[in-house]
Amino acid sequence: MPNVQEFVEVWTSDAGTPTRLVWRARRYRVNDTPTPLVGPAEWWEPFADHDVSPGHRPLAIAGWRFQARSDDGDTRVFDVGHDGERWRLLRTFE
């Protein structure tokens, strides 16, 4: 599970879930249900040092994990995130 950290092109559905990805000039089509990757909500950062007991810090979707297959049969699991401007490939699993 190498950390890749490369820019990729991602197409999403109207709901915002990934449907296609282009990585290293290869097109992959998502062939399962993407899973949201969650992390602390950015808007919470100014309050990060506050105790929120007994609750939890607010979470937001930080990226997506999904399985996708290329036209030539290469199937991988991808972790992608969006930095506000571009999509970045975070990890890939063969």
Residue 49 pLDDT: 75
Six-digit token string for 32: 């399962």
Six-digit token string for 17: 């879930």
The mean pLDDT value of the chain amounts to: 87
pLDDT at 66 over 80: yes
pLDDT by residue (tens digit) across 22-51?
A: 999 999 999 999 999 987 777 767 776 777
How is the chain split into domains, by residue range? 3-44+55-93
